[in-house]
């Protein structure tokens, strides 16, 4: 399994488990903890991953993120981004909240 496949598998696992430790992930995927930390750093650039330290620390998917949540297609996002340019005030705030909630991270 290459790095990109492993990272996708880690992300899918975290989406279902919601929380785990680097040690357990390293054991599960057959790599060292340093590799897992590197993978998590790469994943955190695109996905809502949070880390915490201490005796109860670990890696979690942000509470607000749910993969089964509906997402806008690229075409829908593009249209809303264009429409957003014509808005102001409260309408602009609402449009921005729609894009934040339903568009893929980094797509707008």
- For 91, the domain range is 70-108
pTM of the predicted structure, to 2 decimals: 0.61
- Rounded to whole angstroms, how far apart are CA atoms 25 and 37? 10
Q: How confident is the model at residue 108 (pLDDT cuts 50, 70, 90)?
A: low
Closest CA to 14 of 34, 44, 55, 38: 44
Q: Tell me 70's DSSP state.
A: -
- The number of distinct structural domains making up the chain is 2
Judgement on whether residues 57 and 18 belong to the same structural domain of the protein: yes
| pLDDT tops 80 at residue 8 | yes
Which residues, at least 6 apart from 26, have a Cβ–Cβ distance to it below 8 Å? 32, 33, 35, 36
Judgement on whether residues 57 and 84 belong to the same structural domain of the protein: no
Residue 61 near residue 21, CB atoms below 8 Å: no
Sheet holding 58-61, edge to edge: 19-20, 58-61, 49-52
Per-residue model confidence as pLDDT tens digits over 78-94:
999 999 999 999 999 99
Judgement on whether residues 17 and 42 belong to the same structural domain of the protein: yes
- Rounded to whole angstroms, how far apart are CA atoms 26 and 4? 15
Per-residue model confidence as pLDDT tens digits over 35-81:
999 999 999 999 999 998 888 889 999 988 877 767 788 899 999 99
Where in the chain does DSSP place strands (E)?
19-20, 49-52, 58-61
For the chain, percent of residues with pLDDT exceeding 70:
94
């Amino acid at each position: 399994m290459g790095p990109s496949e492993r990272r996708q598998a880690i992300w899918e696992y975290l989406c279902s488990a919601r929380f785990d430790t680097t040690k357990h992930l390293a054991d599960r995927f057959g790599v060292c903890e340093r590799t897992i930390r590197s993978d998590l750093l790469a994943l955190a650039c695109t996905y809502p991953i949070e880390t915490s330290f201490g005796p109860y620390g670990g890696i979690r998917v942000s509470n607000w993120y749910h993969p089964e949540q509906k997402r806008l297609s690229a075409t829908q996002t593009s249209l809303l981004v264009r429409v957003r340019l014509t808005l102001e005030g409260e309408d602009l705030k609402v449009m921005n909240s729609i894009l934040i909630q339903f568009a893929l991270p980094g797509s707008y």
